[in-house]
Structure 1
Amino acid sequence: MFKVRAATLSDSHAVQEIFRANIENAEWLPELARVSDFAKSSEGELVFVASSNDEEVVGFVSVHVDGSFIHHLYVRSDFQNKGIGRSLLSSLQHWLPVPWRLKCVQKNQRALSFYLRNGWREVGAGESEDGAYVVLEWRRELTVS
């Protein structure tokens, strides 16, 4: 069982490690774009963590509240495919106005498939230093499964 809660200062190290590991293993991300300082990358965002029964942080989501923009969603590799990403997103329904948006690098097929399976729809596209991306949107009438 996992619990989603607001991140605290004591979660910083675990969140940074999950972020660093995911970025370092992101074969879809260009080498030059692999900034692995989560605090710098998420400045001004609200962060929520998923923790296990023993309070171990196993994933997180960071959100720009203005614009309801999901900036980061990462789960520790040994806890992936256990519903944690869906739980983190579902927890936002209680307070974050819809529609929600995010950008997903097209080469990140695993993440793109996850979002599309969970009711997100493509509403735009663009190009960044990370490569081509799609803009995805989620609305309340679309359900996070």
Structure 2
Amino acid sequence: MTIHIRLATEDDRPDLRELFLQARRATFAWLPSETFQLDDYDDQTRGERVLVAETDDGALVGFVALWEPDRFVHHLYLAAGQQRQGIGRALLHALGWPEQPLHLKCLRRNEAALAFYFKLGFVGIGQGQGADGEYVLLASQRVQGSG
């Protein structure tokens, strides 16, 4: 399966809303499912640069949302069954990582995501408590000799 990364378009919005809803309900199983709504995508990605990952047949299998002023990855989600295929890494690469640093928050209870980021060389630089639980503030490290 070949994955293509591109900027999201308005035509992608219905699929992105659904992917965002389903992925969060599956990922954050400790929270009540009604916590998540279909229109959350619109509210939580407003003003952000959104890149999508799609297959050759045009199916959206993931997305990343970046708050560009701070190089802050606000969201990175994959469709069910799409983990461990290099899609998350490809989305981060499309943002310029690892040459350009990135920051993000990850809930401590989201152990799979924490393992993913640590495997990629992200390091914990802080922690805190949010409405959904404890989180770790992570930062990527620049590649030696870059920038």
Same fold (TM over 0.5): yes
TM-score (structure 2 length as normaliser): 0.88
Question: Which residue of the partner structure matches residue 6 of structure 1?
Answer: 7
Amino acid at match of 2:94: S
Identity %: 34
1:8-87 matched pairs, under 5 angstroms: 8-27=9-28, 29-31=30-32, 34-36=35-37, 37-87=40-90
Q: 4+ residue stretches of structure 1 with deviation over 6 A?
A: none
Alpha-carbon displacement from aligned partner over 1:60-86 (angstroms, at most 9, x marks no partner): 000100100000000001222111001
In structure 1, the gaps of 5 or more residues are none
CA shift at 1:102, angstroms?
A: 0.1
- Give the length in aligned residue pairs: 141
SS of residue in 2 equivalent to 1:78: coil
Is the CA contact 2:25–2:33 (under 8 Å) kept in the aligned structure 1?
no
SS of residue in 2 equivalent to 1:126: strand
Q: State the superposition RMSD in angstroms.
A: 2.1
Is the CA contact 1:3–1:51 (under 8 Å) kept in the aligned structure 2?
yes
Distance across 2 between alignment mates of 1:59 and 1:21:
12
SS of residue in 2 equivalent to 1:93: coil
SS of residue in 2 equivalent to 1:98: coil
TM-score (structure 1 length as normaliser): 0.89
Distance across 1 between alignment mates of 2:29 and 2:124:
19
Question: Which residue of the partner structure matches residue 92 of structure 2?
Answer: 89
